[in-house]
Amino acid sequence: MQPTRRTWTAAAIGAVLAVVGPVVASPLPVVGAAVVFGWILARQLVAVWGFQATVEATTLTVEPSVSRLQVGTDVPVTLTVERPPTAADTVLTVLLSLPPAATPRPERDREVSLAVGETRETTTVLLSIPTAGRMTIKEPTWEICDTHAMFTESFDRGPTPTVTVEAQTIQDLHVGRGGSELSAFGQHPTEGTGDGVTPAELRQYLDGDPADRIDWKATARLSKTYVREFEAESDREITLIVDHRSQMAAGSIAETQLDFAREVALGIVSNAESVGDPLGLITVGDDGLTTTLAATRQQIGYARIREQLLALEPTPAGRPSSSVDLQHPGVTQRLAQQLAGDTTAFGQTLRAFTETATGYVERIETDPLYGAVDYLQATTNATQLTIILTTDRERSQLRETVRAAASDGNAVLVFLTPQVLFEAGELADLETAYGRYREFEAFRTELERLGPVIAYEVGPGDRLATLLSSGRSETASRAAPGGANE
C-alpha cells in the first residue's frame, strides 16, 4: 500500500505541527498533529477495507477470441472487469499485460478503469504476435485507489490464457490426387472404403507381394494376378514422418516444400487431436532422425508435436550427425558375404545379383527416411498408420521406404511435394514441366499399388493449375486435325 502525494502532504503538516510544539513550548500544535495523524490513519484503515471488498468481489476475465492464430494475424483479446455495487467504492484500474513477443500497444488502449460507483467495464485489444510459438498472456496489473486518493495498491493477479501462434498458412495449398483436389486431409477412418486411410480392395499383384495375399478366385476370374487388401481397423497409432532434409528447401522463400508439408502435418495433428487418435512424430534430417516423439493422446503431447513441426527448418549443409543409431537387417548383404569365397559357376552367378543388391541395401541403409520407418517398426508393436511427408526427388529410395512402412498390414499415407511444382523457373517450359508432372503422377500411382497406401500430391494450387491447363491444351491440339504433332 503506497501513500499518495496527498497523504504525504497531510503527514508533513502533522509533522510540522508536532515539531512546532516544543519550539513554542505549547502542546497545542501537538494536539493539531494528533488530529491530522488520526485522520490519516482512519483513512488508511478505511482504504484497506475498500481494497479488500474490491479484490474479493471483482471478477476479471481475459479472453482471447481464439486460442490458436497465425503469425501476423490479429486476435481480439477482451478484458472485462466487473464488480458489485457494494464493492464499487474504490477506483480500480486493470492493465492487460501482453506477451513479450507481441506488438506493443499503448497502455491507455489496454487498460480499463472503474471510477467510484462504476461496476463494469470491458475493453478489447488487438493482439498481434509476429513470431510463432506458444505465448502466455501474463497476469493483468491491478491498481486500486481509495475514494480520497490517499492510498493506492498495485499487484498482478488474474487469468493467464495462452495462445498458440502458428507459422504463416500457405495461401494456395493443394492436396489431392492426379490434380483433383481433396476436400480435406487427415480424415478419420470410416466404415466405408475408397479414398480412406484403410483401403480394402483388390489390386494387381506386384513384385514382392507375399504369395499368401493372392486372391486366387479373383486371379482366375480376371486372368491376372490380384491380391486382396483387408480392412483392418483398430485403435491404431498414427505416426507422422516428416522429411526436413535439405532437399525439402525447394520453392520460394515463404513457401518451400517443407512449408507445404508442415501445413499438411499441422492439419493432421489438429484432426488427430479432435478425434483423440494417438499421434507420434519422427522428423528426418540429412543425417538421421532429428525428433522422435512417441505416440500420445495427451493434449500436451499434441502441443509438443505442433511446436516441433513449427520449428522445423530444412537441414543446412554440414549438420552434425544424428545421435540415433539406424540399423537395417541387410539380408542380401549377409548373402553376399557368404558367397564371397564361392568360386563355383552357381556362386558367381548369384554374386552378380547380390552385388547390385548389396549396393541397393547400403543405399537404403544410408537413407534417413527409410531409417525412420525402420526405427518406427523397431520401437512399436501397435498397428500403425504411418504418414510420410516428403518429396519425390529420390524415388527409388522412397519406393522402398513406403514398401517397408506398408509391411505387416500397416496403412500408409504419403504426402508428396512434387519437385516439378517447386523448382524455380521450371514452368517456363510448360511442355517439359507437364511431362515431368506425368512422371510424378505415374510414380504416385505406383506407390498406391504397393499395399494399403494412399499417396497425395501437395503443392501450390496455382502452379498445378497452370500445369494441368497446359496439359489439356496440348492434348486438345494433338487431337485436333492438323495439330502440332501431325
Partner 1 sequence: MSETHTTDRTHPDAENPTDSQDGTQTETGTPADTSRTVSIGDRQIELAILLRAVGLGWLMVVGWLFDGVVGGAVGVAIAGVAVVARPVVVVGLAHAGLLMWIPELTTASSLAAIGLFELGVIAVVLSEPPIEIPTALLTTGFTVVFITSTLVVWVQNGQVAAIGLLLAVVALVGYGIHRYERGSLGLVATETDNNGAPE
Residue 17 or residue 339: which is nearer to partner 1 going by CB? 17
130 binding partner 1? (CB under 8 A): no
Length of the chain: 486
Compute the least distance from the CB of residue 254 to partner 1, in Å.
19
Compute the least distance from the CB of residue 106 to partner 1, in Å.
9
Which residues, listed in sequence order, are joined to residue 241 by a DSSP beta bridge? 282, 388
- What is the Cα–Cα distance from 343 to 110, expressed in whole angstroms? 86
- How many chain residues are in contact with partner 1, going by CB under 8 A? 68
Residue 33 or residue 364: which is nearer to partner 1 going by CB? 33
Residue 25 or residue 317: which is nearer to partner 1 going by CB? 25
Q: What 3-state DSSP class applies to 145?
A: strand
Residue 4 or residue 44: which is nearer to partner 1 going by CB? 44
Whole-Å CA distances, 187 to 115, 213, 268, 306: 53, 27, 8, 18
Binding partner 1 (rule: CB under 8 A), the pick from 93, 94, 148, 336 is 148
265 binding partner 1? (CB under 8 A): no
Q: What 3-state DSSP class applies to 290?
A: strand
Span of 117-125, 183-191, 205-213, 254-262 interacting with partner 1 by CB under 8 A: 117-125
37 binding partner 1? (CB under 8 A): yes
378 binding partner 1? (CB under 8 A): no
Compute the least distance from the CB of residue 402 to partner 1, in Å.
45
- Long-range contacts: 246-249, Cβ < 8 Å, 24+? 246/286, 246/314, 246/315, 246/316, 246/317, 247/314, 247/391, 247/393, 247/394, 248/314, 248/390, 248/391, 248/417, 249/314
Span of 50-58, 171-179, 195-203, 269-277 interacting with partner 1 by CB under 8 A: 50-58
Intra-chain end-to-end CA distance of the chain, in Å: 94
Question: Are 321 and 353 in contact, with CB atoms under 8 Å apart?
Answer: no
Residue 92 or residue 170: which is nearer to partner 1 going by CB? 92
Amino acid making up residue 390: T
Near partner 1 in 14-33, by CB under 8 A:
14-22, 24-33
Q: Per the structure block, which three cell numbers stand in for 478?
A: 494433338
H or E segment and range at residue 377: helix 368-379
Sites of contact with partner 1 (CB under 8 A): 1, 9-10, 13-22, 24-46, 48-49, 51-52, 55, 74, 76, 85, 88-89, 103, 105, 109, 112, 114-126, 128, 147-148, 153, 155
